[in-house]
Amino acid sequence: MTDFCRIGAELRSLCGWRCSRRRFIQAGASALTLLSLPVAAGAASGESRHGFIRPHPAQYYRKLDGGLVECQLCPRTCEVLDGDRGECGVRENRQGKYFSLTYGNPCAVHVDPVEKKPLFHVLPGSGSFSIATAGCNLHCKFCQNWEISQTRPDKTYNFDLPPEKVVELARRTNCASIAHTYVEPVIFYEYMMDVGRLAKKAGILNVCHSAGYVNEKPLEALCEVLDAACIDLKSFEADFYRELVGAELDPVLGTLKTLRRRGVHVEIVNLVIPQMNDKPEAVTRMCAWIRDELGPHTPLHFSRFYPLYKMLHHYPTPVSTLEKVRDLALKAGLKYVYIGNIPGNKAESTFCHSCGKLIIARKGYMVGEVLLKDGKCAHCGAKIPGIWDKPKVV
């Protein structure tokens, strides 16, 4: 934990956060999180603030009659009255002009291993400067971050971190990437875009963990500054999305195809919930679609469900279920299939699709031996999909 303590002390000093060492470093015995900044800790200005810090002009909306605006950022296309907000709770109509209330206003700031995103084919073992604001455009009944995703930015303690400060802190803490994560980052789209532009100039990767619920036009623009995306494909059944997520499946599939077409590195997470989305036929159809539309080398992570939020009555995913769905994915022709939330499972590690030998060893979020040379398997020379080199400073 020595390096983590050093980084934590440096980060607190840089920002002026008023937070004790004990509260600041919350890495437990499992080291699941490297650094954690509690929402009650101080912001870059000296203290955190309750509520949003500054409104910022929103993109992707149009004015309607009667003072209404129609948000065009995500498939919900909310029609918002003057003084009201969209479904996400963070975009507000102010006299016919639309504003984001999340710009430079994160309530969560962490230094994570990039494996936590999870991105297993992006600079293994590197740090990722991770940020999130309050709010979300989805309402998953099983959300693991519901305390911030299902509230509004005026209800949380937030840090004053404009894009240039985010990039500077990522650089000073030696993070190879900046991750927009924990909630749906589409809701802080303008913030993510500006951070991405500055990150590219600084030679830092810009990545996100998203549910992919975004319209085509803003997504195309985002691809200009996005290096990698881990997308939650929560199920391959429309009814699951409607009943447990409050959304539709088709826009998510469209997002995945657009990301692949635009050359963004894509990994997929499927949270396996017993008796909800673990039917063998549905899993097989999902894997076949990934193989055919995105390519057989697309990394797929099957993650273990734990009872949370509105699904406390449910039970954790049996390890045997995760192993069965992984076998289905391999039989469908996918080459990189992982099991998550089961530290120590063999399926956490990466094996070459060509020779079958171990090339990246993992246990939890800890990375061991990496047997790659110039992005190729050190054993047989096969090219391994992913991002293996840090980008150059523009």
Residue 83 — very low, low, confident or very high, per pLDDT cuts 50/70/90?
Answer: very high
- Encoded tokens for 20: 């004790």
pLDDT band (50, 70, 90) for residue 188:
very high
Q: Is the pLDDT of residue 1 over 50?
A: no
> Is the confidence at residue 343, as pLDDT, over 80?
yes
Per-domain residue ranges of the chain: 56-100, 108-377
Q: Is the pLDDT of residue 33 over 70?
A: no
Instruction: Please determine, for residue 155, whether its predicted confidence score (pLDDT) is greater than 50.
Output: yes
Mean pLDDT of the chain: 90
pLDDT score, position 245: 98
Question: Which range has the worst mean pLDDT, 49-58, 80-89, 151-160, 365-374?
Answer: 49-58
Report whether CATH 3.20.20.70 matches the domain 108-377.
yes
pLDDT of residue 393: 83
What pLDDT score does 255 carry?
98
Q: pLDDT band at residue 25, thresholds of 50, 70 and 90?
A: very low
Cβ burial of 120 (10 Å; 0-12, 13-18, 19+) is buried
Percent pLDDT > 70 in the chain is 88
- Residue of 218 and 4 predicted with greater confidence: 218
At residue 115, does pLDDT exceed 70?
yes
**322-342 pLDDT tens trace:** 999 999 999 999 999 999 999
Give residue 11's pLDDT: 53
